[in-house]
Every structure is written in structure tokens, then in C-alpha cells.
Amino acid sequence: MLVARALEKELKRPDEFVTFWTKLGQAISAHRGKVAALAVVVALGVGAVWGVTIYRRSKAAKATLAFERIDRIANADLLPAKDADDTGKATMEEDDGIPHAKTESERLTAANQAADAYLAVFGSAGLGRKVLFDKAGRLLVLGAPGQAEQIYQDLAGSEPDHDLGLLEREGVALALEAEGKLDDALRAFASLAEECQAGTKFYLDRAWYGQARILERQGKGKDAAKILREILEKVPKTDLRTQIDDRLALASEK
């Protein structure tokens, strides 16, 4: 499919996509009790992949500009902390037509407000689906995994593109994990892996990696290690090899 072919092409330049999984490993290792960083992984990691399928379909100049504005807000430089008011509360300021925040939370909230404004004008079809997907990722970071899960579920349930559906279903699993519903998250990743095995194998290593990560959190290190070794055996060219090797090395030391 288009996304799979595009992804294969992108992987010839691993820095763009491998960074996604490097961040995942680092975030989980440093913050085992905090899954918010996973949202950043989802939002940043699949943006380019989604763009191949959705962004190029958009012919509406105004919609495209509005979409780009959301991205600019989400990635705008934070204002210096010294500019906070006497109460220490961060305030929003306008610069070059976009709001700049003093805190990460404010920046993400502003981006989601811009996303809501986009959806109110242009709707949730086409490029609007990417707007919703990114909003869900930011909601995870903002500590609202229940809202994020609902968005991912709605997207996955109406997704006509198989490969994009895999990304949305991964979002559901990550949201469940963020809610502390580890058993449900594990089943979601397992279901995702089964579907990947029956198809093009696209995303299979990532689905298995999600299972292994949750099994580790549940104290099932041996089961996790078994899955990690299976990834190396059945997906030898996986870009997760470094993270897998590190996890297996740590498991062997316990």
C-alpha cells in the first residue's frame, strides 16, 4: 500500500524514523510510571508517514495553512520563564501570528485549541483526521488518556487505509497503557500483532515490542525476552534492534 511503500523509502534514511523508537526506549526506561512520553512518540513518529497519505490529498489552501498553523504552535519556542507574572503563572503572548507559551502544557493546550478551531471550520475528514490524531497524542501528554483513547478508537473504527489503521490502533494501546490498564493494553498490542502477521508484516515488530514492554512492566521478564528474541528472528532488519539488544542485555543481568 501507499503508506507501506512510502515508509520503506523513508527507512533508507533511518534518522527520521529511528529517532521515534529511540525516544520510546529512553522515555520508558527513564519514566516507567509515566507513559505521557509515548504520546510524543506517536505524534512525532508517524507524522511523516501519515503525511504521505493524507497531506498530499488536501487541495484546500486554507485548510492546509490552518493545519500548518497547528503544527507551528505545537513546536513554537517556549518563552523565557523570567517573563512569568508575579504569581509565577505563565501567560500567552503573540509573536509572528502564533501564540508562544511559557510552559509545555500551555503550548500543547494552545495547539489543541487551534486543532478544535480547525475541526470546527474544515471538519474531521481528510486532513482533519491527522488533526485529530495529533490532538490525541497531545492529550496523552496532558494527562487525558481517556479522551485520547476515544479519538484513537473513533479514527481506527472509520479508517479506510489499513496501514494508517495500525497506527491508530497502536494509539489505542498506548492510551490504555497510560490509563494503567495494562491487561487491556497488552491485549490491544497482541491483537495488533496478529493483524500484522496476517498482512504485509508492516508494524509487526512494533506491535511485538509494545507487548514486550508491557510484560516487563508486569514483572514478566522472561515472557518479554522471548518476544524480543522473536522480533530479532522474524524481523531481522527491524530498526528496533538497538533497543531490543539493550533490553535483553539488562534482562540477562537480573
The C-alpha cell at 124 is: 474531521
Torsion of CA 233, 234, 237, 242, to 10 degrees: -50
In sequence order, what E strands does the chain have? 93-95, 98-100
Q: Which of 5-9, 21-25, 211-215 has the lowest mean pLDDT?
A: 5-9
Q: Does residue 103 have a pLDDT over 90?
A: yes
- The pLDDT value recorded for residue 177 is 94
**Beta-bridge mates of residue 100:** 93
Rounded CA gap, 212 and 225, in Å?
7
Asked whether the predicted pLDDT for residue 199 surpasses 50, the reply is: yes
What 8-state DSSP symbol labels residue 94?
E
- Catalogue all structural domains in the chain, each as residue range(s) with its CATH number: 2-58+126-253 (1.25.40.10)
Read off the pLDDT of each residue in 155-181 and give the average, rounded to a whole number. Answer: 94
CA atoms within 13 A on the CB side of 208: 26
